[in-house]
Amino acid sequence: MRILVVEDDINLNRQLADALKESGYVVDQAFDGEEGHYLGDTEPYDAVILDIGLPVMDGISVVEKWRLNGKGMPVLMLTARDRWSDKVSGIDAGADDYVAKPFHVEEVLARVRALIRRAAGHSSSEIICGPVRLDTKASKATVDGVTLKLTSHEFRLLSYLMHHMGQVVSRTELVEHMYDQDFDRDSNTIEVFVGRLRKKLGVDLIETVRGLGYRMQAPSEAR
C-alpha cells in the first residue's frame, strides 16, 4: 500500500512517514501544496494524509483540484483543533476524514487503515481469504493460525491483493503501489515475489490471469 504525506512541518512529516513505513506502507512525501497536488495528480496512492495549512497551495484547494480531476483516493486531512470551520470546509471539498492537531500518530495510522479498508469494501481490520488472514492493525498475516514470515515486499504484495480480492490486478498496478516514486521499477520482479508468496502461503489462492495480471480469491470462488 502506498501513502502520500503532504505536511510542511518537516519533523511532523518525517514522524508520520517513519510510522507509516514501520507499519509496512510505502511512503512519498511532499512539503507544500503545489508539490503535493502534483504527486497526487500523477501518481497512484491508496491514501493521502494532507495538512490544510500548506504553503504555495492550501490543502482545501489541493483536494478540490484532485476531486475535480477525478482523483478518488481517500484523503485524511490534518486540521487545527480550534478551527472547526476548516474541518467542515475540508469535508465539503472532498476529504474523507480529518484529525485535529495535536494528535497521536497511532490515531492517524488507525484512520488511514480504516480509509483504505473502506475504499476496498472491507469493514473489518481483519481480511480473510480461505485459510489466510490479514491483520491490518498488527501488519501481519497468518495461514491456519500460523504467522507467515514475509519480507516487506511480500507483505505489501499480499496486502494489496487481499484488499482487492476477486479483482484482476495488473503487474503495473502492483509495481505502482509497492514502490515509492524514486524506486527503479521493474514489473518483472513482481513475478518473483508472487512465486515466493505462493510458496509461503502453501495454498493455491493467487491466480495468474494470462496477459492481465493476478487475482486472489478463496478456493470456492476460483474460476
Helices 105-119, 10-22: crossing angle, 10 deg rounding: 60
Instruction: Clarify whether residues 141 and 72 are in a common domain.
Output: no
Q: Rounded to an integer, what distance in angstroms lies between the CA atom of residue 92 and that of residue 104?
A: 25
pLDDT in tens, 207-221: 999 989 999 987 765
Please report the pLDDT score of residue 125 as a whole number: 85
Give the domain CATH number at 51: 3.40.50.2300
Q: Which domain holds residue 172?
A: 126-221
Please report the pLDDT score of residue 218 as a whole number: 78
Q: Rounded to an integer, what distance in angstroms lies between the CA atom of residue 120 and that of residue 73?
A: 11
- Taking a C-beta distance cutoff of 8 angstroms, is the pair 141, 148 a contact? yes
Which residue, among 102, 137, 130, has the nearest Cα to 205 in the 3D structure?
A: 130
Q: Is residue 105 classed as helix, strand or coil in its secondary structure?
A: helix
Instruction: Clarify whether residues 209 and 157 are in a common domain.
Output: yes
C-alpha cell at 52: 490544510
C-alpha cell at 144: 491456519
Instruction: Clarify whether residues 6 and 113 are in a common domain.
Output: yes
Q: Rounded to an integer, what distance in angstroms lies between the CA atom of residue 134 and that of residue 139?
A: 7
The residue out of 67, 91, 119 marking a domain boundary is 119
Which residue, among 41, 10, 45, has the nearest Cα to 28 in the 3D structure?
A: 45
212 burial type by CB count under 10 A (0-12 exposed, 13-18 middle, 19+ buried): exposed
- The edge-to-edge listing of strands for the beta sheet with 140-143 is 126-129, 132-135, 140-143, 146-147
pTM (predicted TM-score)? 0.83
pLDDT in tens, 81-120: 667 788 888 889 999 999 999 999 999 999 999 999 988 8
Give me the half-sphere count of Cα atoms (radius 13 Å) on the Cβ side of residue 206: 24
Q: Rounded to an integer, what distance in angstroms lies between the CA atom of residue 58 and that of residue 64?
A: 10
Please report the pLDDT score of residue 45 as a whole number: 96
- Taking a C-beta distance cutoff of 8 angstroms, is the pair 59, 51 a contact? yes
Structurally, how many domains does the chain consist of?
A: 2
In the predicted model, residues of the chain with pLDDT beneath 70 are 81-82, 181-187, 220-223
Which residue, among 103, 139, 136, 150, has the nearest Cα to 22 in the 3D structure?
A: 139
The residue out of 95, 119, 143 marking a domain boundary is 119
Please report the pLDDT score of residue 185 as a whole number: 59
Neighbours of 104 (CB within 10 A): 9
Please report the pLDDT score of residue 223 as a whole number: 46
